[in-house]
């Protein structure tokens, strides 16, 4: 890391970030790193980045609407799609008399690099600014406190998964889980004056999701096309492992989450060129609907049965060749170990006529804030191009966690529907929740 200076210049709420080079991604020994975080050298030109996440007051004033699930004028805007964030940038440019960064034509968005208006940071700019010279998992070094450093699912600090039964070894012990975004700027900023780069809401960036090019990069702008856009930094509902500076979440550009918002950026010097391509879409076939699920203690099975009761769709339970232990403490260990090494446990269940199905309603329990690895095995066993996957999950408080991002990355050729999260078995509201969810996804009965 050899960034030129420490930024001190803040104008119109944007910090002047000096150009420099840094190692993007995570070292091989970083705990809970993803396979998509290959370490590589990146040179970033100077740019401006907002000190704070965009608030609901900011957004509503310009856009005349507020989609946030957790309402509060001073809270960060969330539940915005990537397109909403791009449109907001243009509206802010128009108000300031600047040239718009984006040309938005339906699902096609192109970025005019010469524009002086507001825009989303690139993924590389975001990580460079988040790190602010650090090479550790967080810009707060090797752990991050939910009480004093960032707003996240503080019951699950960094490393809790493999230390669940021996918490004495943890650098940060479990702390507060606020269950909501909070006002940006509630904690100290990073070394470059940027608040909440970790936690509160994850932040959309420009880039399509794709593997890193490991050659030395100068101002990389991500994959040329794709179906998913990246968001960074993790949010109020994420475990610490998903707040890491190198962690990459990806969702369909028209997806929205109460844990995802954004902050704006601007060029510091004029650039040239136009970027962007038609979003890669795959035609979704009509076909039949299959309900496929994995369940350990029966709650997800109950949701699948309710879906079948309402629809009559085919149902298949995904079972492993080597079942997980029926002992709770043991399965906690087995599940985190499998997730940590991204295992693909062999499935005993085989869907013989997958071609027949155009839509798969995919159910699972939230395990360690993501999918159980048998779901990854299932997604790797069939070609989901042209199919629609609609996730449903049972959880103990973490809702969908990072499971939708995980499914998106594993089935990039599928179209993703809106997910349903059910608290444990869902209780008496289950039938109505399932019915409303099917309706929202336009799934006929
Ligand atoms: C290994 C394991 C990990 C879990 N991790 C989480 C979690 O990170 N977040 C959460 O909200 N619930 C978590 N839970 C709770 C389950 O999601 C919840 O009990 C769910 O209802 C189980 O669904 P099932 O009966 O279909 O297995 C976990 C449970 C197990 C067994």
Q: Which pLDDT band holds residue 285 (cuts at 50, 70, 90)? A: low
Q: Which two tokens stand for residue 330?
A: 């043991």
- pTM exceeding 0.85: yes
**Dist. CA 436–CA 310, nearest whole Å:** 11
- Closest ligand 1 atom number to CA of residue 331: 1
Q: Which of 245, 167, 163, 235 is nearest to 199 (CA)?
A: 235
Calculate mean pLDDT across residues 126-145.
Answer: 98
Pocket test for ligand 1, best of 395, 402, 404, 425 (most atoms within 8 A of CB): 395
**Dist. CA 238–CA 151, nearest whole Å:** 9
Q: Which pLDDT band holds residue 5 (cuts at 50, 70, 90)? A: very low
Calculate mean pLDDT across residues 126-148.
Answer: 98
CATH superfamily of 288-440: Flavodoxin domain (3.40.50.360)
Domain boundaries, the chain: 1-280, 288-440
Sheet holding 14-17, edge to edge: 10-11, 14-17, 47-50, 265-267
**Dist. CA 138–CA 233, nearest whole Å:** 10
Q: Evaluate if residue 277 carries a pLDDT over 70.
A: no
Q: Which pLDDT band holds residue 280 (cuts at 50, 70, 90)? A: low
pLDDT tens figures, 202-215: 999 999 999 998 88
Give the model's pLDDT for residue 1.
40
Distance 102 CA to ligand 1 centre (A): 41
pLDDT tens figures, 71-106: 999 999 999 999 999 999 999 999 999 999 999 998
Q: Evaluate if residue 281 carries a pLDDT over 70.
A: no
Ligand 1 and 296: CB distance under 6 A? yes
Bridge partners of 104, per DSSP, are 109
Give the model's pLDDT for residue 276.
81
Cα–Cα distances (Å) from 97 to 91, 113, 116, 117, 273, in that order, read 10, 17, 10, 8, 21
The Cβ of residue 66 has, within 10 Å, a number of other Cβ atoms equal to 19
Cα–Cα distances (Å) from 250 to 37, 98, 330, 386, in that order, read 13, 29, 31, 19
**Dist. CA 375–CA 368, nearest whole Å:** 14
**Dist. CA 158–CA 140, nearest whole Å:** 12
Q: Which two tokens stand for residue 442?
A: 């336009």
1-280, what's its fold? 3.90.1580
pLDDT tens figures, 338-395: 999 999 999 999 999 999 999 999 999 999 999 999 999 999 999 999 999 999 999 9
Pocket test for ligand 1, best of 160, 365, 373 (most atoms within 8 A of CB): 365
Q: Which pLDDT band holds residue 39 (cuts at 50, 70, 90)? A: very high
Cβ-count burial 306-324 (b if 16+ within 10 Å, e if not): bbeeebebebeebebeeeb
Q: Which pLDDT band holds residue 47 (cuts at 50, 70, 90)? A: very high
Q: Which of 281, 388, 400, 409 is nearest to 342 (CA)?
A: 409
Q: Are 117 and 267 in contact (CB under 8 A)?
A: no
Q: How many residues does the chain have?
A: 445
Q: Evaluate if residue 283 carries a pLDDT over 70.
A: no
**Dist. CA 179–CA 280, nearest whole Å:** 35
């Amino acid at each position: 890391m050899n960034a030129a200076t420490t930024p001190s210049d803040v104008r119109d709420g944007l910090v002047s970030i000096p150009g420099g080079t840094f190692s993007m991604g995570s070292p091989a020994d970083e705990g809970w790193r993803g396979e998509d975080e290959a370490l590589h050298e990146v040179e970033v030109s100077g740019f401006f980045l907002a000190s704070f996440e965009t608030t609901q007051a900011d957004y509503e004033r310009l856009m005349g609407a507020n989609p946030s699930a957790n309402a509060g004028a001073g809270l960060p805007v969330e539940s915005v799609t990537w397109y909403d964030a791009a449109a907001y940038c243009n509206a802010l440019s128009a108000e300031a008399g600047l040239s718009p960064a984006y040309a938005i034509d339906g699902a096609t968005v192109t970025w005019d690099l010469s524009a002086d208006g507001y825009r989303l940071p690139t993924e590389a700019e975001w990580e460079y600014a988040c790190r602010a010279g650090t090479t550790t998992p967080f810009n707060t070094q090797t752990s991050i406190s939910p009480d004093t450093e960032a707003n996240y699912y503080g019951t699950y600090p960094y490393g809790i998964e493999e230390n669940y039964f021996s918490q004495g070894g943890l650098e940060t012990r479990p702390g507060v889980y606020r269950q909501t975004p909070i006002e940006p700027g509630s904690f100290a900023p990073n070394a470059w004056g940027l608040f909440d780069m970790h936690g509160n809401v994850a932040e959309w960036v420009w880039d399509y999701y794709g593997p890193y090019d490991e050659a030395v990069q100068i101002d990389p702008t991500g994959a040329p096309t794709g179906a998913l856009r990246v968001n960074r930094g993790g949010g109020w509902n994420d475990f610490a492992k998903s707040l890491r500076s190198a962690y990459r979440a990806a969702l369909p550009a028209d997806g929205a989450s109460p844990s995802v918002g954004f902050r704006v950026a601007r060029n510091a010097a004029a650039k040239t060129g136009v970027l962007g391509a038609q979003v890669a879409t795959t035609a979704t076939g009509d076909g039949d609907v299959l309900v496929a699920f994995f369940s350990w203690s029966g709650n997800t099975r109950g949701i699948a049965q309710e879906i079948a009761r309402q629809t009559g769709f085919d149902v298949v339970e995904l079972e492993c060749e080597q079942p997980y232990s029926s002992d709770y403490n043991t399965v906690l260990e087995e599940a985190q170990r499998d997730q940590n090494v991204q295992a693909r446990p062999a499935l005993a269940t085989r869907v013989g006529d997958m071609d027949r199905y155009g839509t798969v309603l995919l159910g699972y329990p939230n395990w360690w804030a993501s999918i159980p690895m048998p779901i990854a095995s299932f997604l790797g066993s069939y070609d989901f191009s042209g199919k629609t996957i609609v996730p449903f999950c049972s959880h103990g408080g973490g809702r969908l966690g990072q499971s939708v991002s995980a499914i998106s990355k594993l089935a990039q050729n599928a179209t993703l529907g809106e997910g349903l999260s059910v608290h444990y078995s869902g209780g008496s509201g289950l039938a109505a929740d399932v019915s409303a969810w099917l309706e929202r996804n336009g799934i006929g009965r």
